[in-house]
Amino acid sequence: MKTPILPIVIALLGTFLNGCDQKPATQSNEGQTTTARSDSSFARLADEFLAGYLAWRPQTGTYLGLHQYDGKVTDFGKTSLEAELTRLKKYDRQLAATDTTALGVQEFYDYRLLQSAIRAEIFEFENLGYYSRNPMNYAGVLDLNIYVQRDFAPLAERMRSIIAIEERAPDLFAAARENLADSLARPYVETAIQIARGSADFLGKELAGALRGVKDDSLQAAFAVSNQKAITELNGFATYLEKEKLPKAHARYAIGRENYQKMLLYNEMLTLSPEQVLEMGLAELKREQTRFAEVARKIDPSLEAVDVFDALKKEHPTAENLLPEARKNLEAIRQFLIDKQILTIPSEVRVNVQETPSTPAPPAPLQWTRPARSRKRRPRPFTTLPPSKRTGPPSRRKSGFHNSATT
């Protein structure tokens, strides 16, 4: 996914930023009435925007637990792209015309978050050429993992949603071919090929295996057709990139100074220059390196810090006990927070640790996933770890455990 939806969701849930300039907390009765009207008007505008935002990005809606979007996927046709950009600009103008002095404190910060998120979307459309220069966005569009990873509905119902999305595969990749520029950045093309091939492999193996338990012959038959269609389209897109785009690929993938500053402004609300960011980063790096050396000396003063680090990397769980060790560590961390009165744990519900399904791109050593809301029950948040029995050389498999630790 690209620009996080989180700023918009936070805005509409009424969470405001800490540390920003404060607005007056006291008002006259007349002022309170004006503020109430302005807040109500802004809330309607925000709700209207978000409804359209998710209608165009239904997979984001499903991820957020809004299941009216299940079985739907974005229309990437040129007309649809142009309409969405026009819609984003319309709401940007409407927000710019809002009298923020009449908003309540909370709504004022919501306003800032929403405006920043909208401008980040416009920035990706226009400045970064998100849909014309980056084939990875299309290669990963058939991300159906959430439908088997979450049991928010009966499996047969989720299977119908999967079929509906897979049936759109020909249109999705036809739009991709039409939208993409003639020459693309080589790293983007190479990664997109990997994602597309990996996605096809996932659909043919893990996804098909996860749905094998559905006892409905007609549904299974429909899935067999749609799944093969999606696999064919994904592999076809990868071949297209290999034959048509890779030979013309270039190395110009840097976004440039001006775009970098815009990215900081719209995504992080920061007005720092690249030089300031670099200066801060180098200062923090030096501080961390000093601390790293201090801790290494405490562990073994006879070794260089890097040698201490290499020795510690050898202390990791085996493939067989990786998940039990992860569960044990999480429980130990939880108890430490309680014992030291660092914070109050709001629930007795534990994080569910499980293996990461094989996905189009290599997984991170550890990934935290917020659960999509279930229609019937409250889900458990969980974290995932790489499958313990990866294929490949032993050195590669072993490297996957270097970021694990035992207690």
Q: How far apart are CA 230 and CA 147, in angstroms?
A: 16
Confidence (pLDDT) at 319: 82
Looking at the predicted structure, is the pLDDT value of residue 16 above 60? Answer: no
Directed axis angle between helix 29-56 and helix 78-96, to 10°? 170
Cβ 390 vs Cβ 397: under 8 Å: yes
pLDDT tens digits for range 216-239: 999 999 999 999 999 999 999 999
* Of the candidate ranges 25-29, 158-162, 165-169, 188-192, the one whose mean pLDDT is the lowest: 25-29
Q: How many CB atoms are closer than 10 A to CB 177?
A: 15
* Of the candidate ranges 40-49, 168-177, 210-219, 319-328, the one whose mean pLDDT is the lowest: 319-328
List the chain domain ranges: 1-128, 154-254, 272-313, 322-399
Q: How many CB atoms are closer than 10 A to CB 127?
A: 15
Average pLDDT, the chain: 85
Looking at the predicted structure, is the pLDDT value of residue 175 above 60? Answer: yes
Concatenated DSSP letters of 146-175: HHHH--SS-HHHHHHHHHHHHTTHHHHHHH
The alpha carbons of the chain give a radius of gyration, in whole angstroms, of 24
Q: Which helix (DSSP H) or strand (DSSP E) does residue 39 occupy?
A: helix 29-56
First vs last C-alpha separation in the chain = 34
In percent, the amount of the chain with pLDDT more than 90 equals 66
Residue with tokens 């201090």: 294
Q: How far apart are CA 385 and CA 352, in angstroms?
A: 11
Cβ 159 vs Cβ 222: under 8 Å: no
pLDDT tens digits for range 92-113: 999 999 999 889 888 999 999 9
- The pLDDT confidence band at residue 370, using thresholds 50, 70 and 90, is low
pTM for the predicted model, two decimal places: 0.78
Beta bridge mates, 354 = 384
Looking at the predicted structure, is the pLDDT value of residue 285 above 80? Answer: yes
Q: How far is CA 233 from CA 135, 166, 402, in A?
A: 14, 10, 37
Looking at the predicted structure, is the pLDDT value of residue 18 above 70? Answer: no
Q: Which residue has better confidence, 16 or 185?
A: 185
Looking at the predicted structure, is the pLDDT value of residue 13 above 50? Answer: no
User: What is the biggest distance separating any 2 CA atoms in the chain, rounded to whole angstroms?
Assistant: 73
Closest CA to 386 of 361, 364, 360: 364
Q: Which residue has better confidence, 83 or 100?
A: 83
pLDDT tens digits for range 117-143: 999 999 999 999 999 999 999 999 999
Q: How far apart are CA 93 and CA 86, in angstroms?
A: 11
pLDDT tens digits for range 291-323: 999 999 999 999 999 999 999 988 888 888 888
Confidence (pLDDT) at 7: 41
Directed axis angle between helix 169-179 and helix 217-240, to 10°? 10
Cβ 384 vs Cβ 355: under 8 Å: yes
Q: How many CB atoms are closer than 10 A to CB 337?
A: 13
**Residue partners of 73: CB distance under 8 A and separation at least 6:** 58, 59, 141, 165, 168, 172
Q: How far apart are CA 268 and CA 205, in angstroms?
A: 39
Cβ 376 vs Cβ 385: under 8 Å: no
- The pLDDT confidence band at residue 24, using thresholds 50, 70 and 90, is very low
Confidence (pLDDT) at 406: 39
**Residue partners of 394: CB distance under 8 A and separation at least 6:** none
